[in-house]
Structure 1
């Protein structure tokens, strides 16, 4: 977990920013943006402040000011921890990145860990772990797994579903805080930090003396929506899976077209043809596909696609 500077370091600027936030929450984004501009005159190198200005400007309908503020965030925040590039893409001001910044995803879930299960399961009706396990049951029956690997394990929700069927269960995640929550469940035989956007040798999934091709179940439950392009993640899954091993995964379903799209939520959506092709390219044969509502977002159902594939020999 790395610290993110939400304060400007200038007391007067912070006070003006706090008042701007109150104005925005009170329904006056125009005044909020004007006051935020004054704060940034005192702290011009404050990326979180420029992000706030972008938010207020967008609420005020000032799109040019919004994109200008976001571009300032990009210049000040090369690791893109605030996801300014994704926001620019959603506004149509920049091309869609094929994947988000790992620092953004790490910070998002480090911050979210304490309230993750309450928010996602109890409030948003998140159902992927149970539905993915049911899909595995349809194809594999009562088969036991010598080794199951839970990619993007989060707090361990899928692990809770599958651990009684696995002789050994390993979980990997980018967020240290999420891994701490998963560890507290005491269901994993091994937990480790890993980045599915990186090549195998840098991903954290493979260590010296531990062979690849060893898992008879690999799962990626609701993690691919934070990855975008899937070729690298699927290559990693293929390197982990034994011949005949299963790969269970979920995506949010693309609303338009046959490929990859970025939603206003800053999550990626994937079409069935896109996922099928990426699986085949990585050496998997698709065995089963099902569609379902996987959660709600702002009171609306989010539709997803669940896949079960098999590693070809």
Structure 2
């Protein structure tokens, strides 16, 4: 949250908060924080106001006060739609969590859906769909019976794969993003799904793709185990991550996106039953004028020679599920 996007419900408090924002934008971070703290006496249950107060105090170097504000925001909104728990972890006021709150991810992309394509492609030079499509082509994969697009968003990856897929379905946590994807007519089926709790059941596909998704998942053990279940023997998994060059498996960055080490990916893919086809570094987007270095990964599901004759792909009906 970088502005007072959510109203307090009190006109006077909103006006004072707007003035605090003007002070903040002018570089008067401490004064802005003091004014917003006073404002919150009028609206003490305004979770978004407490969250923003934490950001202002952080910018002013008041980390103890920032932690107090984010703790209060989290108390008022236990689902943590604003991501206060992540901010607490980043300043060392709490243990860093290995997965973002699902409500935070859903709220983030619901708010972002209407401007997602324009902002990401035109302003941030987003390249992941084309990089993944090229990596698949380099692997000699040009046609698929059934594609599963995890975290499909508005359908940018689906647009790249539609010509090569007999059937393509997308899963995403954001209902608003799915509505944008549905309007494009790219997918045969769309499903509202939190990847943190994704249970594939009898879903099978010869390509599972996750474009710029795992940075909002965190620890990947569960989702890669699910992908291994979905992938038919010899099927492909293709995804991107933000690259972390340090010794830890993954880290939460100030952007509140996770970055993953190559060693972590290699070890986890092997443990999940995948053979790596390629791992290539690439600039995946721009952020504040700087390129974000990522990894484009393609892996193949290992073939069990004893049961290969039993493996089939069930072609689903070509119909689009209506979104509520």
Q: TM-score, normalized by length of structure 1?
A: 0.92
Contact conserved, 1:125 with 1:296, CA < 8 A, in 2?
A: yes
Partner-residue secondary structure (3-state), 1:197: helix
Are the aligned partners of 1:10 and 1:43 in contact in 2 as well (CA < 8 Å)? yes
- 5+ residue gaps, structure 2, are 305-324
Q: Aligned pair in 2 of structure 1 residues 241, 17: CA closer, same or farther (>3 Å)?
A: same
- How far apart, in 1, do the equivalents of 2:6 and 2:84 lie? 15
- Does residue 275 (structure 1) correspond to residue 272 (structure 2)? The answer is no
User: C-alpha offsets along residues 239-278 of structure 1, whole Å, 9 cap, x if unaligned?
Assistant: 2111111000110001422410011110000001101112
| 3-state secondary structure, aligned to 2:100 | coil
Q: CA deviation at 1:292?
A: 0.5
How far, CA to CA, are the matches of 2:244 and 2:94 in structure 1? Answer: 20
1:91 has 2:81 as partner: no
Q: Partner of 1:45 in structure 2?
A: 45
Q: CA deviation at 1:199?
A: 4.9
Q: Work out the CA distance in 2 between the residues paired with 1:183 and 1:271.
A: 34
Answer yes or no: is 1:175 the counterpart of 2:174: yes
Find out whether 1:228 has 2:212 as its counterpart: no
Please report the RMSD computed on the Cα atoms of aligned residues, expressed in angstroms: 1.4
Deviation at 1:92, TM superposition (A): 2.1
Instruction: Name the residue aligned to 1:80.
Output: 80
CA contact (8 A) 1:16 1:38 kept: no
| Ranges in structure 1 where 5+ consecutive residues have no aligned partner | none
CA shift, 1:191, in A, is 0.8
How many Å apart are 1:311 and its aligned residue?
A: 1.2
* CA–CA separation in structure 2 for the residues paired with 1:183 and 1:141: 26
Shift of 1:56: 1.4
Counterpart mapping for 1:74-153 below 5 A: 74-142=74-142, 144-153=143-152
> Quick one: structure 1 residues 131 and 199, their matched pair in 2 at CA, closer, same or farther if it must change by over 3 Å?
closer
| Total equivalences in the alignment | 299
Q: CA deviation at 1:7?
A: 2.4
The DSSP-based 3-state class of the residue aligned with 2:197 is coil
Q: TM-score, normalization: structure 2?
A: 0.89
